């Protein structure tokens, strides 16, 4: 599959892309979150509602589908942003698991 033009253009600008796909909803391309994006998301979550902070993090990172189409999808499936957030941020280390070896 050829990437959408908007994704190709983002790559040409040096933007790192995370591609997520789902059999039912198709392909999603996101700008890889930076340290600044993570800080902004955590700062927003401490100011209010964590789900709003998560949703804004996903909406700010989406490259494709275009924002209008993406908004329509979220209107129909409002919980979808949670799964997208989880996969997007899992890809950059938020989902890593560690064991406590020492620390009592």
Residue 21 lies in a domain: yes
The token pair at 48 is 């209010």
Task: Report if residue 103 sits inside a domain.
Answer: no
Instruction: Answer whether residue 44 shows pLDDT above 90.
Output: no
**CA 57 to CA 40: how far, in whole Å?**
8
Task: Please report, for residues 48, 63, 78, 103, the alpha-carbon distance to residue 30 in angstroms, rounded to integers and kept in the order given.
Answer: 24, 5, 18, 37
* pLDDT tens-digit series, residues 13-36: 999 999 999 999 999 999 999 999
DSSP 21-89: EETTTEEEEEEPP-HHHHHHHHHHHHHS-HHHHHHHHHHHHEEES-HHHHHHHHHHSTTHHHHHHHHHH
- Domains contained in the chain, number: 1
Q: What is the CATH number of the domain that holds 58?
A: 3.30.2220.10
The model's pTM is 0.86
């Amino acid at each position: 599959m050829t990437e959408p033009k908007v994704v190709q253009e983002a790559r040409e600008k040096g933007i790192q892309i995370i591609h997520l796909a789902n059999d039912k909803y198709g392909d999603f391309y996101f700008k890889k979150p930076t340290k600044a994006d993570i800080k902004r998301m955590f700062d927003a979550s401490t100011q209010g509602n964590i789900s709003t902070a998560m949703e804004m993090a996903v909406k700010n990172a989406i490259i494709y589908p275009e924002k209008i189409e993406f908004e329509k999808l979220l209107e129909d499936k409002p919980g979808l942003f949670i799964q997208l957030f989880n996969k997007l941020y899992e890809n950059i280390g938020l989902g890593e698991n560690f064991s406590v070896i020492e620390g009592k």
